[in-house]
Structure 1
Amino acid sequence: MKGLGCLMGSSLGYPGRMIRPVTFYLVVFFMVSSMGYPSRRSAMDLDATPRMTIAYNDLSSVRCFGSHAQNYTTLLLEDEKGILYVGARGAIFSLNATNIADGFHQTMDWKASPEKRAECLKKGKNNKTECYNHVRLLQRLNATHLYACGTYAFHPLCTYIDTNKLMPPSVFEEGKEKCPYDPSRGYTGLIVDGSLYTATRYEFRSQPDIRRSLYQRILKTEESPLHWLNDAEFVASVLVRESMSSLVGDDDKIYYFFTERAGEESTSIFDKNQLPRVARVARVCKNDLGGKKILQRKWTSFMKARLACYIPYYEVLKDVYSLDGGNWHSTVFYATFTLSAQWRSMEVSAICRYNISEVQAAFEGTYMEYQDSSRKWSQYNGEIPEPRPGSCITDRARKSGYNSSQDLPNSVLDFIKLHPLMYEEVKPADGDPLLVKKNIIYTQIAIDRVRALDGQEYDVLFLGTGNGWIHKAVIVGSTVHIIEELQVFRVAQPVENLIISKQQKSLYVGSQSGVLQLPLATCERYISCFDCILARDPYCGWDGVSCRELAGILDRTLLSQDVLHGNMGCWNDSTQATSTQKNRTVLRGDDVLLPCEQASNLAQATWLVNGTEVLAEDGQGRFHLGVDGLLVTDTQLEFSGEYQCYAKENGLQALVATYALTVLPEQLVPQFLPTVPQPSWHAASYAYGDMKFIYIAVITVLGGLCLVLSVVLLYVSCLQKRRGKYSLGVPQTSSVELQTVSSNCIGKGGQEDEDLDTYPDGCLQIIPGEATTVTSPLKEVPPVPPPPPPPLPAEFTNGISTLPNMLRKMNGNSYMLLRQNEEPCTSPLYNSFTEELSKILEKRKHTQLVEKLDESSV
């Protein structure tokens, strides 16, 4: 089906890097040196390599849902009921959260009418992407109904949906105040205690806005004289119940996360009309009623602050996820960032963590003020009216007679209008990003808090990328360990949404082509104790036989796990996966490749030859260590023995592969090759056992042939000069006939076959006398191909046949081997010469590693 795009195509690669101009580096240097880079750790320390890479074809326990719709990007999980609601383009689905691919789902079609689509086209919109009904909001309203809003071909509509029937209602309401026109516009929405809190650019050419609608008084952000929001793109909104157990009688707050143009950056290296985009966090109070005369139907509690992540200074917010440990005081926000448009020549993502206390501190700090004279924002050092502008109504305000925002004095409301921006920025916890990844764009983030065997709770991050991968990582202290990276789509496409189900132990992935359901843990992937421990996966533990998920085990006393260090718990070597010994037999002087595939990207291969470790350079350059194998060139008899490959990682060592290598002397070659009758003089030479005689005989014969050819050519040249011209194709009365025989001399047919007994050399016949013109028998009798030689024994291989698959991982180098193309000849002289020549060429065919990947030099 069309919706099953998550099962089509193939794309394993990551986006390529663009060439960085020199000016870019100068700009980065200027920014970092002038503004400072507060991170205490280097970018190398902040980066992390995924331990394992799982390609799409290697995924297990993955379920996929797709239908006639597209853009499955709005997800609502009701974990207790086991239902996953999906808002797509033109439809809403109700899926079984246990197995979204079981086929038992409900569908509500909600497509834009032909009339609205025609109006959308008249507005100049795209009929392939924009002139549809994209469901952007899907929230639980009450026990029986959902509330949904869609763009409806640039004419937003909202509706109430009965969850028992999931049928399209007969009545819709205008959604211009609740939903964006443009389906690509940043948007976030929450229903809190019956009121709808949304943030986006609503109407067609309107300013971005944070609004409250439905059952409470409608509120908006202020537009004049200063815009509270400057070309904002909203990412997420989070409710924090700060009224619970509050000692000051505080109110609940809704926090908004977005990216906007930095109005405070009025003088910089950037064009004033192209102000850099920065990340922000804003907040409003849930029970805000607006002002009575000033700021009527406007927020009186709106404040915003800079959200800093330091990569290097200007960041674009992509997604935010919040966690709390059952108490709002422990609330933390995880945010994903990328570089803004000024750094478009570079792809960098970062993950930062923020404590709620740091956010509160920023909003309780100093304000900023816009100076008309200098046309810039600066720190406000004047007097601050009471009660504090932008704060919620607390017990202290009530004691002073301010029971709601409409009771606030005009001085407070005027101050709020002109001072929406805070001076202090919200810094990440520990002052540093948790993770900085190059050449990756993180689009979505979801967090699960897991209690490990050591009793500590670890936050497990699921990060969606812009090309269809999921990075699973665990936070250990102030660092991130990426457990694995998963290619979840054949066709590269952005991960649009991530939802975690604790009940189903599943991760739901929303995308353009469909919805995926992945298990949170795949412990069975780790086949040994070392593998299980090194993974540092809080979901998994080793029980002595296999790696198992902790959630299904009641008695955990016999389990081993080490999330903190990743190298403790495996004391018995027998728990490792045993490696089967493989036999390799090669000829002396040949090359052999011994593969050693490393399952972990963090492991380093170590080779032992007869108990002695192989160094990177053995002095003669005959051992070449690669990521996936050991290349031995110009093998000698003393190279025979046992070769063992170990994987070293984080202080642990595990056996991966074992080979028994046998190097044979060259004299053993004939027993594997077809026997050819040898002439008496050739047999006698072997009987004497003097190989030097063969070489001398071959050289003598070749020298004699060359001498005869030279004399004949000289004679023909003199004869032609005496006649004054060359005669081509005319028989001469006094000439020499040269019959050259190709490399395949067997089965020529005709006269040549008959003369083989007469001329035992067979391959080259020199016949004095007159040559007669005859028709070549080759045109009449087709040549008979010689019988192929019998194949070599199966173990008689040097592994070179596997080379093409290994080249790209052999220390970043690749190579090509030259082979002599030999074909048998009936002449013993030719046979011996070819044999010896092949041996010489065989010794010179050895590989040279080149510097560039996937390139070969001959």
Structure 2
Amino acid sequence: MALPTLGLDPWSLLGLFLFQLLLLLLPPTNAGGGGQEPMPRVRYHAGDGRRALSFFHQKGLQDFDTLLLSGDGGTLYVGAREAILALAIQDPGVPSLTSMIPWPASNTKKSECAFKKKSNETQCFNFIRVLVSFNTTHLYACGTFAFSPTCTFIELRDSYLQPILENKVVDGKGQSPFDPAHKHTAVLTDGMLFSGTMSNFLGNEPVLIRTLGSQPVLKTDNFPRWLQSDASFVAAIPSTEVVYFFFEETATEFEFFEKLRTSRVARVCKNDVGGEKLLQKKWTTFLKAQLLCSQPGQLPFNIIRHAVLLPSNSSAGSQVYAVFTSQWEIGGTRSSAVCAFSLENINRVFEGKYKELNKETSRWTTYGGPDIDPRPGSCSVGPSSHKALTFMKDHFLMDEQVVGVPLLVKSGVEYTRLAVETAQDVDGHGHVVMYLGTTTGSLHKAVVSGDSGAHLVEEIQLVSDPEPVRNLQLAPMQGAVFAGFSGGIWKIPRANCSVYESCVDCILARDPHCAWDPKSSTCRLLPTQILEPWKQDMKRGNPDWACAIGPMARSHPPPRRPQIIKEVLAVPNSILELPCPHPSALASYHWSYDTAKVPGASSTVYNGSLLLLLHDGVGGLYQCWATENGFSYPVVSYWVDSEDQPLALDPELAGIPRERVKTPLTRVGSGAALAAQRSYWPHFLTVTVLLAVVLSGALILLLTSPLGALRARGKVQGCDTLAPGEKAPLSREKHPQPLKEHRTSAGDVDADNNRLGSEVA
């Protein structure tokens, strides 16, 4: 009675049974997490054709670590291992090499480096660590020079690098690290070079030093331990009167932790001339404070990795953006955070109270003594008094912390570098855009959304083999970001608007560089001057409003009809695998059949694709819907039909373009186009044959088991019972005893039709 009820013939019923068996064998699909942590909306794998990238490399060169953009924005200077390059970046595509000068370490220095137990394969080279623009005609560069830091001036002629002259090479101790693995920072401002690095071969004497220019050379004092021996510098940011250094070191003011790392910001004045008798050739304005980047109730992100300044029209509005990680692992993985610090807040902390070390208890407490005028550490004109210098030797740590605002917190990711810029939307409002490099060779693009934090627009995997991003350099005139790696430099356009094929997708992306052009019906890169009413909604990301048609915008929402219908004609009792592209990782997806749910008995969703067993009554319109930010829209639409009895297309779908697909579809991989089609009917035939063989074997076993028992019973009763008067065989061997008793019923009879007893052994 099941066949008439289901309306299926035996073959269809068998196919349905095997389909359900296939569903049991499929591994479970993990549901996408809908947590609060930001996720990249679009992901591009290495080599993905949807994201056009350019890669520059040069045979024999590696470690493209240091990047410098020329003043006119048309040339990118690169410091690699034992070479300095000049790349022309005005034209689209791969940057072209205009000039290159070698700067290898001498054979003598390499021999000394190897003699000191350093590696000839990875360490005893000249790694360029400082590359700054000294003026319009010269660059200033420093390198490790096989653990013998060296600096030189490089002449420029029409952006072409001139060979290095021997008489221009000077000692670079304190300006470049000895070890290429040590972190460092350097910035040139007002003709003076401010550097933070390790100043000795062992790498345990950090120093903040000022060189070049007309001012005397100044550095930090090692005796009062202004810097801990493991200090690691990541950034130097100049301001009007001071220079800020960002670094991390072991905290000495906390006693409840051993080896607690902490992030710092230090400040020195540009007009500092050092002391006359006390602190000669030393900073007299050195102050440092703790940076705090944390979420309420969570462990702090206490290790700073990089920091950049985003200038503003006013000094108070300038923000420092920094990436942090934590020395603690949560759940076996490390996390990263991006925090913003205002220069106004940093200066307020430096104008606050000091900490002092109690030598009797070895504890840091808040200084409560009288004020000194002029204030120690301030950029006052003229030399400081002996009293003020004595005070500065012991009161270099500020009492208050500089608290940052967490904009982005991401687990399972370690950010190494960042670049920040401001982008204007169609309404003229500015949005902070951050480009974040990771330890695995990815680039994240994040947009700060006011007080609500930041959202990740995309993730681009730049290299197939994971390695950290060495450096990032923005090129605003080219609209690109350059990323340095061990093997070359990637040029990444800062936006990929063409990947958003519909107005809905373009608006939901909330990329300030992209807007929907109604005239051309494309998502385009936003020009400098907008002449047409292009569409964007950076605040809400609401396609209902931005993609509306007609003057009454809110009363005419965007159409949610399919843009194109894919017609699928397949043989009966075959499995269709209908793929659903996922344009957004933030959306949730579901399938619909006409206006109802898909039939559960003959379909299932696996890895986003719809597996459908085609038989009578399951044809019609199948749509995969995406729901994001409260808005639902169809991603793909299929009209499924049988080759034997085609159905007429629904009149309501008239006028929608159709694309004929003659055979069942397969999955879509990584956003690529539809792959070659295939039918699952041969697989079902194979499974059917195997299942029939198994069932036949089981049936034979079931049927033969009772016959074998009866034959064995007859053999015991007939052949093994001796007739009266018959002797036993002449053998000394004992007959084996039965393992157990065979019980028979009282109605059993022997071969002579005589009834047996109740038990026979």
- Deviation digits for residues 388-447 of structure 1 (CA, Å, limit 9, x no counterpart): 221111xxxxxxxxx32x2x2222111111111111111113xxx111111111111001
> Who is 1:54 aligned against?
44
Q: Does residue 439 of the first structure (1) align with residue 439 of the second (2)? A: no
Instruction: Look up the equivalent residue of 1:480 and give its one-letter code.
Output: A
> Who is 1:217 aligned against?
216
RMSD, matched Cα: 3.1
Shift of 1:804: 10
> Who is 1:93 aligned against?
85
Against the structure 1 CA distance between its residues 338 and 805, is the aligned structure 2 distance closer, same or farther, given a 3 Å change threshold? closer
> Who is 2:76 aligned against?
84
Shift of 1:817: 12
Which sections of structure 2, spanning at least 5 residues, go unmatched? 1-33, 550-557, 646-659, 672-679, 700-761
> Who is 1:423 aligned against?
399
C-alpha distance in 2, partners of 1:577/1:553?
Answer: 34
Shift of 1:63: 2.0
> Who is 2:636 aligned against?
657
Give the secondary-structure state (helix, strand or coil) at the position aligned to 1:119: helix
Q: Is the 8 A contact 1:527 1:577 kept in 2?
A: no
Q: Is the 8 A contact 1:79 1:501 kept in 2?
A: no
Shift of 1:203: 1.6
Percent identity reads 34
C-alpha distance in 1, partners of 2:537/2:529?
Answer: 17
Against the structure 1 CA distance between its residues 512 and 834, is the aligned structure 2 distance closer, same or farther, given a 3 Å change threshold? closer
Q: Is the 8 A contact 1:463 1:470 kept in 2?
A: yes
C-alpha distance in 2, partners of 1:424/1:823?
Answer: 76
> Who is 1:166 aligned against?
162
Instruction: Look up the equivalent residue of 1:435 and give its one-letter code.
Output: L
Q: Is the 8 A contact 1:337 1:350 kept in 2?
A: yes
C-alpha distance in 2, partners of 1:802/1:342?
Answer: 37
> Who is 1:392 aligned against?
379
> Who is 1:644 aligned against?
623
- Deviation digits for residues 182-214 of structure 1 (CA, Å, limit 9, x no counterpart): 111111111121211101111213510100112
Against the structure 1 CA distance between its residues 823 and 436, is the aligned structure 2 distance closer, same or farther, given a 3 Å change threshold? closer
C-alpha distance in 1, partners of 2:373/2:682?
Answer: 84
Match of 1:292 among 276, 284, 287: 276
C-alpha distance in 2, partners of 1:442/1:816?
Answer: 49
Give the secondary-structure state (helix, strand or coil) at the position aligned to 2:165: coil
Kindly report which structure 2 residues correspond to 1:460-609, keeping only aligned pairs within 5 A, or say none: 460-478=433-451, 479-544=453-518, 545-551=521-527, 554-556=530-532, 558-567=533-542, 568-572=545-549, 573=558, 578-585=563-570, 587=572, 591-609=575-593
Match of 2:103 among 94, 105, 110: 110
Q: Is the 8 A contact 1:645 1:657 kept in 2?
A: yes
Q: Is the 8 A contact 1:230 1:263 kept in 2?
A: no
Q: Aligned residue pairs: how many?
A: 616
Q: Is the 8 A contact 2:244 2:267 kept in 1?
A: yes
Shift of 1:64: 1.8
C-alpha distance in 1, partners of 2:486/2:670?
Answer: 33
C-alpha distance in 2, partners of 1:586/1:369?
Answer: 84
Range moving further from structure 2, 183-192 or 53-62 = 53-62
Match of 2:198 among 169, 190, 201: 201
- Deviation digits for residues 652-699 of structure 1 (CA, Å, limit 9, x no counterpart): 222222223347999xxxxxxxxxxxxxxxxxxxxxxxxxxxxxxxxx
Give the secondary-structure state (helix, strand or coil) at the position aligned to 2:527: helix
> Who is 2:292 aligned against?
308
Q: Normalising by the residue count of structure 2, what TM-score does the alignment of the two structures yield?
A: 0.76
Instruction: Look up the equivalent residue of 1:821 and give its one-letter code.
Output: T
Q: Is the 8 A contact 1:529 1:576 kept in 2?
A: no
Q: Normalising by the residue count of structure 1, what TM-score does the alignment of the two structures yield?
A: 0.67
C-alpha distance in 2, partners of 1:795/1:284?
Answer: 73
Give the secondary-structure state (helix, strand or coil) at the position aligned to 1:462: strand
Kindly report which structure 2 residues correspond to 1:6-85, keeping only aligned pairs within 5 A, or say none: 45=36, 47-59=37-49, 60-67=51-58, 68-80=60-72, 82-85=74-77
- Deviation digits for residues 10-35 of structure 1 (CA, Å, limit 9, x no counterpart): xxxxxxxxxxxxxxxxxxxxxxxxxx
Shift of 1:262: 0.6
Against the structure 1 CA distance between its residues 593 and 343, is the aligned structure 2 distance closer, same or farther, given a 3 Å change threshold? closer
C-alpha distance in 2, partners of 1:344/1:414?
Answer: 48
Q: Is the 8 A contact 2:564 2:637 kept in 1?
A: yes
Q: Does residue 262 of the first structure (1) align with residue 251 of the second (2)? A: yes
Instruction: Look up the equivalent residue of 2:534 and give its one-letter code.
Output: L
Q: Does residue 177 of the first structure (1) align with residue 174 of the second (2)? A: yes
Give the secondary-structure state (helix, strand or coil) at the position aligned to 1:414: helix
Give the secondary-structure state (helix, strand or coil) at the position aligned to 1:70: coil
Range moving further from structure 2, 590-599 or 126-135 = 590-599
C-alpha distance in 2, partners of 1:837/1:560?
Answer: 67
Q: Is the 8 A contact 2:572 2:643 kept in 1?
A: yes
Q: Does residue 628 of the first structure (1) align with residue 620 of the second (2)? A: no
Q: Does residue 155 of the first structure (1) align with residue 132 of the second (2)? A: no
Match of 2:341 among 354, 372, 376: 354
Give the secondary-structure state (helix, strand or coil) at the position aligned to 2:567: strand
Give the secondary-structure state (helix, strand or coil) at the position aligned to 2:166: coil
- Deviation digits for residues 106-133 of structure 1 (CA, Å, limit 9, x no counterpart): 0010011222111110010111111000
Match of 1:281 among 249, 265, 277: 265
C-alpha distance in 1, partners of 2:314/2:681?
Answer: 64
C-alpha distance in 1, partners of 2:631/2:95?
Answer: 43
Q: Is the 8 A contact 2:580 2:668 kept in 1?
A: no
Against the structure 1 CA distance between its residues 582 and 179, is the aligned structure 2 distance closer, same or farther, given a 3 Å change threshold? same
> Who is 1:698 aligned against?
none
C-alpha distance in 1, partners of 2:111/2:561?
Answer: 66
- Deviation digits for residues 445-474 of structure 1 (CA, Å, limit 9, x no counterpart): 001101111221000111111111111111
- Deviation digits for residues 253-300 of structure 1 (CA, Å, limit 9, x no counterpart): 1000001001112233xxx3xx11111111111001111211111111
Against the structure 1 CA distance between its residues 802 and 498, is the aligned structure 2 distance closer, same or farther, given a 3 Å change threshold? closer
Shift of 1:331: 1.0
> Who is 2:719 aligned against?
none
C-alpha distance in 2, partners of 1:571/1:521?
Answer: 24
Shift of 1:139: 0.8
- Greater strand content: 2
Kindly report which structure 2 residues correspond to 1:447-846, keeping only aligned pairs within 5 A, or say none: 447-478=420-451, 479-544=453-518, 545-551=521-527, 554-556=530-532, 558-567=533-542, 568-572=545-549, 573=558, 578-585=563-570, 587=572, 591-614=575-598, 623-626=603-606, 628-632=608-612, 637-662=616-641, 795=662, 797=664, 802=667, 819-821=684-686
Q: Is the 8 A contact 1:317 1:338 kept in 2?
A: yes
Instruction: Look up the equivalent residue of 1:98 and give its one-letter code.
Output: Q
Q: Is the 8 A contact 1:209 1:229 kept in 2?
A: no
Give the secondary-structure state (helix, strand or coil) at the position aligned to 1:637: coil
- Deviation digits for residues 317-371 of structure 1 (CA, Å, limit 9, x no counterpart): 1110111123322110000011126779421111111111111121122211112
Shift of 1:609: 1.0
Q: Is the 8 A contact 1:266 1:375 kept in 2?
A: no
Kindly report which structure 2 residues correspond to 1:297-336, keeping only aligned pairs within 5 A, or say none: 297-310=281-294, 312-336=299-323
Q: Is the 8 A contact 2:578 2:667 kept in 1?
A: no
Against the structure 1 CA distance between its residues 166 and 61, is the aligned structure 2 distance closer, same or farther, given a 3 Å change threshold? farther
- Deviation digits for residues 468-518 of structure 1 (CA, Å, limit 9, x no counterpart): 111111111121111111112233221111111111111111111111211
Instruction: Look up the equivalent residue of 2:180 and give its one-letter code.
Output: P
C-alpha distance in 1, partners of 2:668/2:339?
Answer: 43
Give the secondary-structure state (helix, strand or coil) at the position aligned to 1:93: strand
Shift of 1:546: 0.8
Shift of 1:599: 1.4
Shift of 1:629: 2.0
Against the structure 1 CA distance between its residues 153 and 371, is the aligned structure 2 distance closer, same or farther, given a 3 Å change threshold? same
Give the secondary-structure state (helix, strand or coil) at the position aligned to 1:473: strand
C-alpha distance in 1, partners of 2:562/2:481?
Answer: 30
